[in-house]
Chain A
């Protein structure tokens, strides 16, 4: 096994802890790279492809002091797009553990996520369910 980097294991997760990411400006470059890679586009004319901020916010979640969650599997998500984003908007993300449940292989962790723009308005929000590893013995 490759030496394990620091991770947040199931035992380390705490209910209601709010984690706030740094912010990032969504640029034309993000949009072109994303559209070229995935073939996806905004349904709303002139807006940023609706799933792009979600993809970027996951990465922003890696740029916080807390070590990344030791995810075994991303199981499901519910997601709402509250308003459109445009190139030049600056977003950050927040996440909060709302439920944790022990399983045989680890634990189920449910997190509420929000993406917030430079005006402080929530642009997207939802809930992720992860299967998370236990701390190795």
Chain B
């Protein structure tokens, strides 16, 4: 049965409302050949890993794989669909590992955990570090890392 539990939009959450340790999981998304072809066209990255089916038959992957950055961008999109949007002012940076291939037809989803929070010199904002794990349909970790976000504090 289709369940919308946990998918209620909750609006933008301020720094004070975000708890260290809170975890969320996004809906899944199936990565298609179309996604890869469009991403190659948009980015201009035509590496054989993503575009040459014959070459890739003989590679360790056995077939074309998605661009690592396509997976990164899709998980960023999935973050908006966890229903837990922060009052983010800026995307400060990320540390990221590409652990395994995303193949055509794989369904990926994002699991996030708030790793830490810290105040900054400015009273209207704080830094939030979010650990992110991208899993495929077999629960294998295909990408993981952490992103640092500057989040607005609740207006006084």
Contacts and interface: CB of A to CB of B under 8 A. Distances in A.
Contacts of B76: 38, 40, 49, 51
Nearest to A105: B60
Contacts of B77: 38-41
Interface stretch (A9-17, A69-77, A95-103, A115-123): A69-77
B91 A50 contact: yes
A74 B78 CA distance: 22
Given A43-B90, A56-B44, A38 B74 contact: yes
A86 interface: no
Given A74-B68, A78-B93, A126-B93, A37 B88 contact: no
Interface in B44-65: 44-49, 52, 54-55, 58
A26 to B, nearest CB: 12
Given A33-B38, A37-B35, A78 B44 contact: no
Contacts, number: 106
A63 interface: yes
Interface residues of A, number: 38
Contacts of B14: none
Interface stretch (B2-10, B17-25, B95-103, B117-125): B95-103
A34 B45 contact: no
A84 B150 CA distance: 13
B44 A59 contact: yes
Nearest to A68: B47
A56 B40 CA distance: 10
B130 to A, nearest CB: 12
B146 to A, nearest CB: 10
A51 to B, nearest CB: 5
A51 B68 CA distance: 12
Contacts of B48: 2, 5
Top-3 shortest CB links A-B: A59-B44, A39-B77, A80-B93
